[in-house]
Homo-oligomer: A and B are copies of this chain.
Amino acid sequence: MREKNKPSKYSHQRDSEATKKRILEAAKQEFASHGLSGARVDVIAEKAEANKRMIYHYFGNKEELFTVVLEDAYIDIRSEEKELHLEKLDPETALKTLVEFTWNYYLKNPTFLRIINSENLHQARHLKESSVIDDLRGPFVGMIDDILKRGEKENVFRKNVDTIQLIITIASVGYYYFTNRYTGSILFSKDFMSQEALDERLAFNIETILRLVKK
């Protein structure tokens, strides 16, 4: 029986959507910091200022929570990519814009890279079961294909550059730099994250991609 004058345990208003959001954000951070295995459900609950019971209530279990975090990550980058409207830019500018966007997205969203890495460590078993990817299958493939075709027609790009290989390469040159920056900084005795180093790398990446496609 409730005691008289005892203050309520529930100090804040209820808001299931807000609670879900806080859990997802906390989970994203925790999974990114420690990987799927290293992440602790208790810590996620604490960071989210929620309760472990709520995590299981809203998301089922740790694996399903990870799946939602992963899906959200892909949805987010995909929606930002859409906003670039590369189809409105001339081929060379479009390609340069994509390289810069990819680079800056990785720079501003370190959790993205770490979560994708975790998923690959686990052989993409969560993504495999996800239906969300259907909408992002071949993200941008059509768009990049169009840029390459326009470049060919305008005689600024060479013929027969493989679209998927190009997309992979654009991702590679940024992704690797960021995910391997810790070992890289030691192996090369160089701070990979200084503004100077970042600027230099982005410029080099743009050059790499343009040299690859230009006549």
The answer, yes or no, to whether A212 is at the interface (CB within 8 Å) is yes
The answer, yes or no, to whether A50 is at the interface (CB within 8 Å) is no
Q: How many residues of A contact B (CB 8 A)?
A: 53
A88 to B173, CA, bound (A): 29
Taken together, the copies of this chain in the complex come to 2
A169 to B38, CA, bound (A): 30
A176 contacts B183, CB within 8 Å? no
Can you list, as one digit per residue, whether each of A108-123 has a CB less than 8 Å from chain B (1) or not (0)? Answer: 0000001011111111
Shortest distance from the beta carbon of A185 to any chain B beta carbon, whole Å: 7
B37 contacts A204, CB within 8 Å? no
Shortest distance from the beta carbon of A143 to any chain B beta carbon, whole Å: 14
Q: Which of A8-16, A60-68, A130-138 contacts B (4 or more CB under 8 A)?
A: A130-138
Can you list, as one digit per residue, whether each of A158-199 has a CB less than 8 Å from chain B (1) or not (0)? Answer: 000010110011011101110111111111111000000000
Shortest distance from the beta carbon of A73 to any chain B beta carbon, whole Å: 11
B36, B127, B176: which contacts A172 (Cβ < 8 A)? Answer: B176
A117 to B175, CA, bound (A): 12
A169 contacts B204, CB within 8 Å? yes
**A205 nearest in chain B by CB position:** B169
